[in-house]
Amino acid sequence: MSRVYNFSAGPAVLPEEVLRAAAEEMMDYKGSGMSVMEMSHRSKVYDTIIKEAEADLRELMNIPDNYKVLFLQGGASQQFAMIPMNLMKHKKAAYIVTGQWAKKAYQEGQLYGEAVKVASSEDETFSYIPDCSDLDIPEDADYVYICENNTIYGTKYKTLPNTKGHTLVADVSSCFLSEPVDVSKYGIIYGGVQKNIGPAGVVIVIIREDLITEDTLPGTPTMLKYKTHADADSLYNTPPAYGIYICGKVFKWIKKMGGLTAMKQHNEEKAKILYDFLDQSSMFKGTVRKEDRSLMNVPFVTGDKDLDAKFVKEAEAAGFVNIKGHRTVGGMRASIYNAMPKEGVEKLVAFMKKFEEEN
Ligand SMILES: *Cc1c(COP(=O)(O)O)cnc(C)c1O
């Protein structure tokens, strides 16, 4: 068996310890005589899996009692519609557009009401987070929407926007569990798990209870009402059962590593190694305004397309894979999620140094 250093933006690297434990339990989960993939989601043994996963997540994020945790399907993209369908009571919402995912959510919001773009960083290829301290937010907006960590562009909000009393809704797909958060500041925090938590197919929605109502937009399908899933503890229909099981294992791994405070420290150390190198390199340059840099996704360029391509190719041959940047930014992007070991980043930087010397 040989494992690579996987810098993919998602689906992405998972802790080896978790993968090994899942492999060991594959044929016979804890004496049940079957794999978690094969068992009823109504069984007692599965009930323990999903309840423990929720309890561990609640503990990790210190989720207040007046919030529900929902394990849903449809990916983060399904939430782009589900949020307005459930929350746009006044048919108006404010969107801060800081990248492609925020833009997609904003465009989807337009299908259901008036989605108002209150700030954007598109003028400079989304390379910064706009000043959100005093935005012109419509009085009757039902929520203010952000994408907290911009996976493609490598920016992250260091302070949350001033929503002027409006409900904050945040897509945290690519920074989920990467650092402590104050859940009480949000109405909804949600994310697809395939970036930092588990296998694709699960989206976790943490939602304040007062936002869960029958009063959804007309025609909202039963499956797209938060209430349906909240009332049934995420077991209205068959949930993405195996994916939730892996998420639960990752929650336990994070707890063992010391929780979100330790994760943040670990992530800051890793990101510093890469950013410090980029700041002194004469070949590689970071593409993001320094104060807005993400701890998770680090885009960089050489400024020469051919040299970028050569780097990507040689990096791959050396075992650093999925490092090609998004086509809208070009160059490279190293995603260094929770499960990327520090050693992976150190070795990548050593490789970059060598490449710089040789080219
Ligand atoms: C990957 C990603 C998405 C899309 O996730 P899907 O699960 O593929 O729908 C949305 N938002 C952010 C921030 C992402 O990184």
CATH of the domain at 312: 3.90.1150.10
Residues of the domain holding 309: 5-16+260-358
pLDDT digits (tens, 9 = 90+) for 283-331: 999 999 999 999 999 999 999 999 999 999 999 999 999 999 998 889 9
Q: Which two tokens stand for residue 260?
A: 């979100």
Query: Which atom of ligand 1 lies closest to the CA of 172?
Result: 13
Task: Specify whether 137 is located in the same domain as 170.
Answer: yes
CB of 10 within 6 A of ligand 1: the answer is yes
pLDDT digits (tens, 9 = 90+) for 227-248: 999 999 999 999 999 999 999 9
Task: Tell me the pLDDT of the chain averaged across its residues.
Answer: 97
Q: How far is 255 from 97, CA to CA, in rounded Å? A: 33
CB of 151 within 6 A of ligand 1: the answer is yes
Q: How far is 99 from 81, CA to CA, in rounded Å? A: 17
Task: Specify whether 187 is located in the same domain as 286.
Answer: no
Task: Specify whether 162 is located in the same domain as 292.
Answer: no
Torsion sign over Cα 153, 158, 164, 167: positive
Task: Specify whether 229 is located in the same domain as 304.
Answer: no
Number of domains in the chain: 2
Task: Specify whether 10 is located in the same domain as 26.
Answer: no
Task: Specify whether 185 is located in the same domain as 270.
Answer: no
Amino acid (1-letter code) at residue 209: E
Task: Specify whether 237 is located in the same domain as 117.
Answer: yes
Residue nearest to atom 3 of ligand 1 (CA): 76
Q: How far is 274 from 73, CA to CA, in rounded Å? A: 34
**Of 211, 237, 256, which one is at a domain's C-terminal end?**
256
The pTM assigned to this predicted structure is: 0.98
CATH of the domain at 243: 3.40.640.10
Task: Specify whether 248 is located in the same domain as 272.
Answer: no
pLDDT digits (tens, 9 = 90+) for 35-59: 999 999 999 999 999 999 999 999 9
CB of 171 within 6 A of ligand 1: the answer is yes
- Percentage of residues of the chain with pLDDT beyond 70: 100
Give SS3 for 131.
Answer: coil
Q: How many CB atoms lie within 10 A of CB 132?
A: 19
Residue among 77, 79, 202 whose CB has most ligand 1 atoms within 8 A, to mutate? 77
Torsion sign over Cα 76, 79, 80, 83: negative
CB of 77 within 6 A of ligand 1: the answer is yes
Query: Which atom of ligand 1 lies closest to the CA of 101?
Result: 11
109-118 — which CB contacts under 8 Å span 24+ positions? Answer: 109/80, 109/83, 109/84, 109/145, 111/81, 111/84, 112/81, 112/84, 112/85, 112/88, 112/217, 113/84, 113/88, 115/84, 116/92, 116/141, 118/94, 118/144
User: Contact 165/143 with Cβ under 8 angstroms?
Assistant: no
Residue among 151, 190, 335, 337 whose CB has most ligand 1 atoms within 8 A, to mutate? 151
What residues act catalytically? 101, 171, 195
CB of 195 within 6 A of ligand 1: the answer is yes
Q: How far is 321 from 12, CA to CA, in rounded Å? A: 11
Strands 297-301 and 285-286, bridge-based pairing:
antiparallel
pLDDT digits (tens, 9 = 90+) for 78-125: 999 999 999 999 999 999 999 999 999 999 999 999 999 999 999 999
Task: Specify whether 323 is located in the same domain as 181.
Answer: no
Residue among 8, 173, 178, 335 whose CB has most ligand 1 atoms within 8 A, to mutate? 173
What pLDDT, on the 0 to 100 scale, is given for residue 19?
98
CB of 100 within 6 A of ligand 1: the answer is no
